[in-house]
Structure 1
Amino acid sequence: MSGMGLRERKKRETVRRIADTALGLFAERGFDAVTIAEVAEAADVSVNTVYNHFRVKEDLVLPPDEASAGRLAGIVRAREPGVSAAGAVLAHLRGEIRRRERTVGLTPGFGRILPMMLAAPTLAARLHALGEQMVTELAELLVAETGADQADPVPGLVAAQIGWVHSLVFAEIGKRTVAGEVPDDIAKAAEDLLDAVEGLLGERVLGYATRKES
């Protein structure tokens, strides 16, 4: 942030203020009950400014840069030599959990946001579609990296297993968040779940697409 220009810093501050204001209104009144105009007024910006930064209303809750269909593929693509596809995702999830990152819902106040998200049909549908898209993009990457035949079911099956683990962790965090547990306890339970899942996954999945040393 120290090397960021004033204009970019102000832009980020505006985007954050709009999103935080919107989330507060949505949590209080429900996603469908709040209009973009009301978000703009509460954030002290114009409606056009909101749309300049958020293409659709759902982006205020699930911004594309945080809730991306390329999330799993991006994690796997960035792995180091000697690390498998599943290993990369498991390690990444553990890191996010230990750092209590926003991306996995381990921030104060998320307990108010999640029920609102699940109660809004368009947001729930977007979450479901997002999970499917993540698996599809990961499967395509695994096919490309391993040189597998397009008819080979293995890349898709491995991607589905990784996607299942990813969804399972988020579901566990969500369930405990709604139940009112504190982030530290939720994080401990999520890490324990990852350990249990890793113990159940076979070597074919855990070792698949291990990046070779260059």
Structure 2
Amino acid sequence: MSIDTLGLREQKKRETRQAISDHATQLFLVRGFDRTTIADIAAAARVAKMTVTNYFPRKEDLALDHHEEFVAGLARVVAGRPPGESALAAVRREYLAALDRRDPVIGFTGPAFTRMIADSPTLVARLRDLHEQREQALAARLTAEAETTGGDPVVARAVAAQLAAADRLLFRDLHERMLAAFPNDDDETADALARALAETAPRVFGLLEPAIGAYAVR
């Protein structure tokens, strides 16, 4: 099999996955997550039900399509921090950059999508679980660093808990603002929300500075 053929197959898989995700999102917004079935999504995307579940083993993954990136996000940022930067500084820097690009990973999913999540107990529970996994991934990263430098792994986990708590708080604040803005869903609304969080986020992270500002400086 040629490299070109492999490339075309991978491209086709990506296109199929994206089409399924797009159709699922449209149905979720119209019908609600809990009232939409896998069969509905398969029919809309013109694929078999098995194809949907092959790409998305969990129905929740169709709605929270960035879940893998979300879970790994804080750990990835801390792992990639430059020399001289602490874990707190890295997380703060990346959060403000994510605000500038209106990143859906930090909650910029739009008022309508946010309302859809809030109306589904299944998605609310799944989102809570993803936040916990996000903290665990960060804790694993900081613990691994602490072990190589003779640091206390319990302290590393405590720092991860504080960083994840701040991150979770800002995520929830953005979602609450999104719900208050519903049904307005335009660039002006997103810009206003980003400006509000750009004022709040430094204050939230600033509260952590005295306790962990000097922790895990690379």
Category of TM-score, reference length = shorter chain:
0.7 to 0.9
Contact 2:70–2:134 (CA<8 Å) still a contact in 1?
no
The equivalent position to 1:205 in structure 2, one of 206, 209, 212, is 212
Shift of 1:205: 1.1
Quick check: 1:66 aligned with 2:69?
A: yes
46, 49, 60: which is aligned to 2:48?
46
User: Where is the helix percentage greater, Structure 1 or Structure 2?
Assistant: 2
Which residue of structure 1 aligns with residue 144 of structure 2?
A: 144
In 1, Cα distance between equivalents of 2:145 and 2:69? 25
The runs of 5 or more residues in structure 2 that have no matched partner are none
After superposition, residues 9-28 of structure 1 pair within 5 angstroms as: 9-28=11-30
SS class of match (2:88): helix
Superposition pairs of residues 1-214 of structure 1, within 5 angstroms: 5-63=7-65, 64-68=67-71, 70-107=72-109, 110-147=110-147, 148-150=151-153, 153-180=154-181, 182-211=189-218
Equivalent AA in structure 1 for residue 140 of structure 2 = E
Structure 1 counterpart SS, 2:195: helix
Name stretches of at least 5 consecutive residues in structure 1 with no aligned partner: none
Aligned residues: 204
Q: CA deviation at 1:66?
A: 3.4
Instruction: Tell me how large the CA RMSD over aligned residues is.
Output: 2.0
Report the Cα offset of residue 40 of structure 1: 0.8
Normalising by structure 2, we get a TM-score of: 0.85
**1:125-176: CA deviation from partner (whole Å, max 9, x where unpaired):** 11112212222222222122022234xx321221111011111221121111
C-alpha separation in 2, matches of 1:54 and 1:15: 8
For residue 65 of structure 1, report the CA deviation from its aligned partner: 2.8
Mapped partners of 1:67, 1:120: distance in 2: 19
1:199 maps to a residue whose letter is G
Taking structure 1 as reference, are residues 27 and 186 closer, same or farther at Cα in structure 2, changes over 3 Å only? same
Q: What do the CA deviations read for 1:66-112 (whole angstroms, capped 9, x no partner)?
A: 332x32212211212111111111111111110112222335xx211
TM-score (norm 1): 0.87
Question: Alignment partner of 1:96: what SS?
Answer: helix
Cα shift at 1:28: 1.2
Residue identity matched to 1:172: D
Equivalent position SS for 2:34: helix
* CA distance, structure 2, for counterparts of residue 174 and residue 113 of structure 1: 10
